[in-house]
Chain A
Amino acid sequence: MDCEHFELYASAYIDNALSEKEKLEFENHTDECDYCNIKLQNLKIVVESINNIEEIELPRNFSNELKSKLEKESEIEKPNNIKNIISNYKKMLGVIAGIFIIITSITLINNFSIYINRNNLHSGVDKLGKGKEEITFDIASEESMEAVDELENNDINQPRIMAIDNNIEAKQEMANEESIESTNNEENNNIMPGENNEDSLEYKNAENKPIEKNRNRVMNISVSALIVGATSIFIYKKFKK
Chain B
Amino acid sequence: METLSSQEASLIEQSKAGDIESFEQLIISHQKRAFNIAYRILGNLEDANDATQEALIKAYKGIKNFNGKSSFSTWLYTIVNNTCMDFIRKNRKTKLTYLDREYEAEANSYKIQVHGDKETPEEALEKKEVQKIVHECINKLAYEHRRIIVLRDIQQFSYNEIAEILNCSEGTVKSRISRARKNLKILIQEKLDK
Q: Is the CB of A55 within 8 A of B111?
A: no
A73 touches B156 (CB 8 A): no
Contact B18 A53 (CB under 8 A): no
Partner of B53, one of A15, A69, A71: A69
Q: Measured between alpha carbons, how far is A54 from B156 in the docked complex, in Å?
A: 12
Q: Does A57 contact B (CB under 8 A)?
A: yes
The answer to whether A47 and B181 touch across the interface, beta carbons within 8 angstroms, is yes
Chain A residues lying within 8 Å of B154, measured Cβ to Cβ, are: 50-51, 53
Whether A74 and B36, one on each chain, are in contact in the complex, defined by CB atoms closer than 8 angstroms, is no
**Given contacts A12-B174, A62-B35, A74-B18, are A54 and B24 in contact (CB under 8 A)?**
no
**CB distance A50 to B149 under 8 Å?**
yes
Within 8 A of A (CB), among B139-183: 149, 152-154, 156, 159, 174-175, 177-178, 181-182
- Is A52 in contact with B53, judged by CB distance below 8 angstroms? no
Q: Is the CB of B20 within 8 A of A70?
A: yes
Tell which of A43, A52, A69 touches B185, judged by Cβ atoms closer than 8 Å: A43
Number of A residues whose C-beta is below 8 Å from B?
33
Give B171 Cβ to nearest chain A Cβ, in Å.
10
Q: Decide if B134 is an interface residue (CB 8 Å cutoff).
A: yes
State whether A55 touches B113 (Cβ < 8 A): yes
Is B72 in contact with chain A by the CB < 8 A criterion? no
Inter-chain contact A8/B178, CB cutoff 8 Å: yes
B49 at interface, CB cutoff 8 A: yes
A residues 215-241 with Cβ under 8 Å of B?
none
How far apart are B176's CB and chain A's nearest CB, in angstroms? 10
B1-53 interface (Cβ within 8 A of A): 18, 20, 23-24, 31-33, 35-36, 39-40, 45, 49, 52-53
Chain B residues contacting A11 (CB-CB under 8 Å) are 174, 177-178, 181
Is B135's CB within 8 Å of the partner chain A? yes
CB of A46 closer than 8 Å to a CB of B: yes
Q: B residues within 8 A CB of A62?
A: 31, 35, 49, 52-53
Interface check B56, CB cutoff 8 A:
yes
* Assembly CA distance A66 to B185 (angstroms): 37
In the complex the two chains form, what is the Cα distance from A84 to B178 in whole Å?
Answer: 48
* Chain B residues closer than 8 Å to A67, beta-carbon distance: 20, 24
Q: How far is the CB of B95 from chain A (nearest CB, A)?
A: 19
Q: Which residues of B contact A55 (CB under 8 A)?
A: 32-33, 36, 113
A-B contact pairs, 15 of them (CB 8 A): A43-B181, A49-B131, A51-B154, A51-B156, A52-B131, A53-B40, A53-B135, A54-B131, A55-B33, A56-B110, A57-B111, A69-B53, A69-B57, A70-B20, A77-B61
Q: 8 other contacts beyond A46-B181, A52-B127, A52-B131, with CB at 8 A cut-off?
A: A12-B178, A17-B174, A49-B130, A50-B153, A54-B112, A56-B111, A57-B32, A66-B56
